[in-house]
Amino acid sequence: EFKLADRVNRIKPSPTLAVTARAAELRAAGEDVIGLGAGEPDFDTPQHIVEAAIDAARNGQTRYTAVDGTAELKQSIIDKLHRDNQLSYSAKQILVSCGAKQSLFNLMAALLNDGDEVVIPAPYWVSYPDIALLFGAKPKLVKAGAESRFKISPQQLEEAITDKTRLVILNSPSNPTGTAYTKAELAELGSVLERYPQVVVASDDIYEHIIWREEPFSNIVNACPSLADRAVVVNGVSKAYAMTGWRIGYAAGPAPLIGAMNKVQSQSTSNPTSISQAASVAALNGDQGCIEPMLKAFKERHDFVLDKLNSMPGVSCTPCDGTFYCFPLMQEAMERLGCDDDVAFAEKLLNETGVALVPGSAFGLPGYARISYATSMENLEKAMERLHKALS
Ligand code: PLP
Pocket, ligand 1, Cβ cutoff 6 A = 39, 99-101, 125, 171, 175, 204, 206, 236, 238, 244, 249
Per-residue pLDDT at 343: 87
Query: Which H/E stretch holds residue 170?
Result: strand 165-171
Q: Which of the listed residues 259, 287, 315 is the one where a domain comes to its end?
A: 287
Residues of the chain whose pLDDT is less than 50? none
Ligand 1: residue of 238, 284, 323 to mutate (most ligand atoms within 8 A of CB) is 238
**Would you give the DSSP letter of residue 113?**
-
Residue 201 lies in a domain: yes
In the chain, the number of structural domains is 2
Q: Distance, CA 80 to ligand 1 centroid (Å)?
A: 18
CA pair distance 358, 16, nearest whole angstrom: 7
110 and 149, same domain (yes or no): yes
27 and 59, same domain (yes or no): no
Per-residue pLDDT at 16: 67
Residue nearest atom 7 in ligand 1 by C-alpha distance: 39
72 and 20, same domain (yes or no): no
Query: Which H/E stretch holds residue 233?
Result: strand 231-236
Specify burial of residue 325 (Cβ count, 10 A radius: 0-12, 13-18, 19+): buried
Residue 1 lies in a domain: no
**Structural domain range at position 335:** 6-44+290-391
Distance separating the N- and C-terminal Cα atoms of the chain? 46
Ligand 1: residue of 42, 45, 169, 239 to mutate (most ligand atoms within 8 A of CB) is 239
Residue nearest atom 8 in ligand 1 by C-alpha distance: 39
157 and 36, same domain (yes or no): no
User: Which of these, 173, 122, 123, 148, lies nearest to 318 by C-alpha position?
Assistant: 148
| Structure ipTM | 0.99
Q: Distance, CA 315 to ligand 1 centroid (Å)?
A: 27
376: left (phi over 0), alpha (psi -120 to 50) or beta: beta
Q: Which of the listed residues 251, 271, 287 is the one where a domain comes to its end?
A: 287
CA pair distance 24, 209, nearest whole angstrom: 29
Residue 65 lies in a domain: yes
User: Which of these, 186, 180, 189, lies nearest to 207 by C-alpha position?
Assistant: 180
User: Which of these, 65, 61, 41, lies nearest to 53 by C-alpha position?
Assistant: 61
